[in-house]
Amino acid sequence: MKKSVLAIDGPAGAGKSTVARLVAEKLGYVYIDTGAMYRAVAWKVLRTGQPATDENIVKVAQDIDVRLEYRNGSLRVEADGVDVTDRIRTPEVTGIVSQVARLQPVREKMVLLQRKMAENGAVVMDGRDIASKVLPDADVKVFLTASIEERATRRWREMKEKGYEVSMEELKKEIAARDKMDTEREVSPLVRVPEAVLLDTTGQTIDEVVASVLALCR
């Protein structure tokens, strides 16, 4: 099998990161979590203590150095030399990451970094606009989705495991609002390109979804 480039897109909570990481492991490829890069910007914005205005977000993005590295078998995210792998998964970061990701100057910088990472192939990249914008020439394109109820349940379990008390109904509202923002934003909206294979993960196990993606790669 040649060293391909895989693009996996989809809405929040569809299982993109988990599936992409496992597919990359099975293929011996590098997994690039683009969402983590935008989360790193959001984390730094919150760290400044300044309001999360578009102007302040763009200013932070211009100066930030975001790096993804594999250490001891796991993906680590660094922002300005600080390991923020766990810090970027808080509800506070989640609350502003869509606002961060919709700004064109922010996306332009992140896309340049993402394309550079994929130059040599053998990568699996997930996000909202990978097939449509970042890697339009990807060899395999997949659009993962799931019902809002399913995605909210997954996020609720994830938050609970990390010690956060969250309301299921609030999570449903947040996911629906994020879907609306991601699909309606002017810059690189969430969209399924015609050639992307649609995989609805509702009711499926992670292993089943991973097997479906691997079958497409073959």
Q: What are the chain's domains?
A: 5-217 (3.40.50.300)
Tokens of 166: 């969250």
Note whether 80 and 91 are within 8 A (CB): no
Q: How far apart are CA 201 and CA 85, in angstroms?
A: 26
pLDDT at 112 over 70: yes
Q: What percent of the chain stands above pLDDT 70?
A: 99
Name the strands in the sheet holding 66-71, side by side, starting at the edge strand that comes first in the sequence.
66-71, 74-79, 82-83
Q: How confident is the model at residue 1 (pLDDT cuts 50, 70, 90)?
A: very low
Note whether 192 and 143 are within 8 A (CB): yes
What is the pLDDT, as a whole number, of residue 113? 86
Please state the pTM of the whole predicted model: 0.79
Q: What is the mean pLDDT of the chain?
A: 91
Mean pLDDT of 146-158: 93
Q: How confident is the model at residue 2 (pLDDT cuts 50, 70, 90)?
A: low
Tell me the per-residue pLDDT of 164-175, one tens digit each, with 9 for 90 and over: 888 999 999 999
DSSP label of 15: S
34-55 core/surface letters (b: 16 or more CB in 10 A; e: else) = bbbbbbbbbbbbbeeeeebeee
Mean pLDDT of 21-45: 93
Tell me the HSE value of 167 on the side-chain side, using a 13 A CA sphere: 4
